[in-house]
Every structure is written in structure tokens, then in C-alpha cells.
């Protein structure tokens, strides 16, 4: 069974349905590529997937080791290149809530961020920059 079913709506827009849940998502081409920029672009969704994956895997690691990252946030910026048009870099800033993380917990968090399936699926030539901000 398919994971996602996507339909072209016209005007550079698509609608995708998550088959299992029925959740819907619309994309629109960005303004710098003939679109209106009124919804996530397909390349924006790669950035969303990357940030969501990082937080999910960090959450799994934290739960496994008996601590929490609840309230953690990720900001993901995508840098586009040309010839061919593609994402050349994803810049991620992870902000973790005040939780007095031990050095061991920080290491677990930082290793987990680099082990999410999306990170591991990206082409090795794509630059991936991750910074961590621990609020004290």
C-alpha cells in the first residue's frame, strides 16, 4: 500500500494525502520558481522532514535514556543552488529548553540529531550544518 497519494491541482499546486491517516497537505511552487508561495514548496517539505526527523530521533534517544527534550525547537533554513536547481545546504539550529542536561545527555542529543533517517538519506554532497543552543 502507498504511503502518500499526490494529485496535481494545477497552477503549480499539489495535494498529498497520507494514506493511513487521511491527513492532507498542499504544496505550492515558491515565488522564485513561478509559484505564489502560498503553501510549503516541495523543497520546504524536505526541510520540514529533516527538522521533524531530528526532533523525533532525539526524543526517542532521550526517552530511552530517561530524560526529556520536551519543548525543544528546530529552525531549518534551506540554501538553494542552481544548475541543477537543488538544495545545496540545510542549516539547522536546535534550541533545547532549560533542563540542566548532563554532558552525557548532551552527547546523546547531539549524536541522535545526526542519526535520523532523513539525515542519513540525504546525498553526502549536501552540506548539513547543525548547531545546538542549550538555554540555561
Question: pLDDT confidence of 2, banded at 50, 70, 90?
Answer: confident
Question: pLDDT confidence of 14, banded at 50, 70, 90?
Answer: very high
Q: What is the pTM of this model?
A: 0.89
Residue 34 has pLDDT above 90, yes or no: yes
- State whether the Cα torsion 113-118-122-126 is positive or negative: negative
pLDDT tens digits, one per residue of 61-78: 999 999 999 999 999 999
C-alpha closest to that of 21 among 41, 4, 44? 4
φ, ψ of residue 38 to 5 degrees: the values are -95, 5
User: Where do the domains of the chain lie, and which CATH numbers do they carry?
Assistant: 4-33 (no CATH), 42-134 (3.30.300.20)
Query: What gap in Å lies between CA 37 and CA 54, rounded to an integer?
Result: 25
Amino acid at each position: 500500500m502507498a504511503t502518500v497519494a499526490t494529485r496535481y491541482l494545477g497552477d503549480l499546486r499539489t495535494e498529498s494525502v497520507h494514506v493511513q491517516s487521511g491527513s492532507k497537505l498542499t504544496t505550492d511552487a515558491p515565488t522564485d520558481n513561478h509559484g505564489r508561495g502560498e503553501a510549503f514548496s516541495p523543497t520546504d517539505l524536505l526541510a520540514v522532514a529533516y527538522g521533524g526527523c531530528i526532533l523525533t530521533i532525539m526524543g526517542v534517544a532521550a526517552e530511552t535514556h530517561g530524560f526529556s527534550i520536551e519543548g525543544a525547537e528546530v529552525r531549518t533554513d534551506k540554501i538553494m543552488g542552481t544548475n541543477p536547481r537543488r538544495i545545496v545546504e540545510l542549516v539547522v539550529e536546535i534550541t533545547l529548553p532549560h533542563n540542566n542536561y548532563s554532558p552525557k545527555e548532551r552527547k546523546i542529543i547531539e549524536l541522535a540529531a545526526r542519526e535520523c533517517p532523513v539525515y542519513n538519506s540525504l546525498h553526502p554532497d549536501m552540506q548539513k550544518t547543525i548547531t545546538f543552543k542549550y538555554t540555561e
